Amino acid sequence: MLEEAPVSVYEVGLRLRGKTVLVVGGGSIAGRRVPRLLAAGAHVRLVAPEATTTLSDLAASGELHWDRRAWRPGDGDDAWFVLAATDDPAVNAAVAAEAEARRTWCVRADDAEASNAWTLAATEFDGVGVAVHASGDPRRAAAVRDAVAAALRAGEIAAPRTRTARPEGGSVALVGAGPGDADLITLRGLELLRRAEVVVSDRLAPQELLDMLGDDVEIVDAAKLPYGRHTTQEQINAVMVERALEGKFVVRLKGGDGFVFGRGAEELDACLEAGVPVEVVPGLSSSIAGPAAAGVPVTERGVVHDFTVATGHVPPGPRSLVDWASLGAGNGTIVLLMAVKNRAAIAAALIDGGRDPRTPVRIVESATTKNQTVRECVLSDLGVTEAHHPSVIVIGAVAGRGREL
């Protein structure tokens, strides 16, 4: 028996900015397709008696126009593209037939064979878009799309930029790399890192990320070791600005999120004052990711409804801007960063402020990495419990409810 020949299609990218797209049906399929249409700049007109919460929210915010009724002939008169996505095949067929008569491309979500256009399984990374079809088999197309996307992100498929692709002049991206595991950097952060000509990296940024960079990328070590070798913030600011003014694209790669005790604001100010274009890419902060990696929620229903993140690099006293007495008097979760050296003094200040000496504590060291270590104690023993940099210290009832992961 001969196998059926694959369906031939002509792949094309539609530039829909400013053009009307008719979407008939307000269910889950429309809910998945509409955000992509909006991202492409289309004017989406939704025709459906009911719609998902996502679609109704988009309509309420004015991002799309919603006619709350059943489809009627003529609804697609002004449409450049049509999506028939109701749960009634007869309605979808009527929508597609009208579009065909008007020579308008229409995707039937319920019947690929009867559709004169297909929505391809698409992904985008670092300015490269990839769309896949598998002769009408959406699951197979999605599987190939996901494999290509993973290979692009891992650098297994090269997508080099030409010299002309770089905009005139230099710029800086302040990228938070996440709490430790290289996989936890955001897609945007990874995309910009792959474009970098200069990377200014600190010691808490996942070093595996640097291994994927080309040999022509300049890597500037901006390590700030606690109580050891130290690069001043002024030096870091200067090298970022200097390289950008030379016309290069600079990524400042920082562990966690640069705007959570990371002096990212100072780096942002330095770029703005020098007239250097700058983008901020938030990172997953260790203040929340660290506890989560150890199975500790910073808040939990019925247990605690607030949490405070504080830096412990300055001990309690006149130099500290933290109101330790108020934290001691409260019952919310306390998350401490950079507090290993001063943990004994901090524990004493919290107890003096009223916090129970038996309050549970968890110390999460090297969170999210293969070297992650979790230690438990109570507040009165925090000063004598082993702890090493980098550690996140969690104080409060939730620390006693951590799950073993």
Residue 359's contacts (CB-CB under 8 Å, 6 or more residues apart) are 350, 378, 379, 395, 396, 397, 399
> CB–CB of 278/304 below 8 Å?
no
Taking only Cα atoms into account, the Rg of the chain, rounded to an integer number of angstroms, comes to 27
| Amino acid (1-letter code) at residue 380 | S
Q: Please report, rounded to a whole number, the percentage of residues in the chain having pLDDT higher than 90.
A: 75
* pTM score of the predicted model: 0.76
pLDDT in tens, 87-137: 999 999 999 999 999 999 999 999 988 889 988 888 887 778 888 888 778
For residues 378-392, b (16+ Cβ closer than 10 Å) or e, as one string? bbbebeebebeebbb
- The catalytically annotated residue of 110, 202, 254, 257 is 202
**Cα 262 from chain centroid (whole Å):** 18
d(CA 66, CA 46): 5
Cα separations (Å) of 231 from 103, 173, 211, 223, 238? Answer: 65, 20, 22, 6, 11
pLDDT of residue 173: 98
> Which residue, 345, 339, 319, 138, is CA-closest to 226?
339
Residue 305's contacts (CB-CB under 8 Å, 6 or more residues apart) are 299, 332
Average pLDDT for 282-286: 97
Task: Delineate the domains of the chain, giving CATH numbers in brackets.
Answer: 20-119 (3.40.50.720), 122-152 (no CATH), 168-284 (3.40.1010.10), 287-401 (3.30.950.10)
- The catalytically annotated residue of 19, 67, 126, 224 is 224
pLDDT of residue 75: 97
pLDDT of residue 226: 59
Token pair 């438990």: residue: 376
- Strand, coil or helix: what is 46? strand
Token pair 């990328």: residue: 217
pLDDT in tens, 12-67: 889 999 999 999 999 999 999 999 999 999 999 999 999 999 999 999 999 999 99
Q: What angle do CA 318, 323, 329 make, to 5 degrees?
A: 135
pLDDT in tens, 322-381: 999 999 999 999 999 999 999 999 999 999 999 999 999 999 999 999 999 999 999 999
d(CA 290, CA 339): 14
Q: In this structure, what token pair is assigned to residue 203? A: 């010691």
pLDDT in tens, 202-260: 888 998 999 888 889 999 988 765 555 567 899 999 999 999 999 999 999 999 999 99
For the chain, the average pLDDT equals 91
202 is catalytic: yes
3-state secondary structure 115-157: CCECCCEEEEECCEEEEECCCCCHHHHHHHHHHHHHHHHHCCC
Quick one: CA torsion of 301, 304, 308, 314, rounded to 10 degrees? -140
pLDDT of residue 347: 98
> CB–CB of 283/189 below 8 Å?
yes
* pLDDT greater than 80 at residue 306: yes
* CB-CB neighbours of 77 under 10 Å: 11
224 is catalytic: yes
**Cα 268 from chain centroid (whole Å):** 20
* pLDDT greater than 80 at residue 175: yes
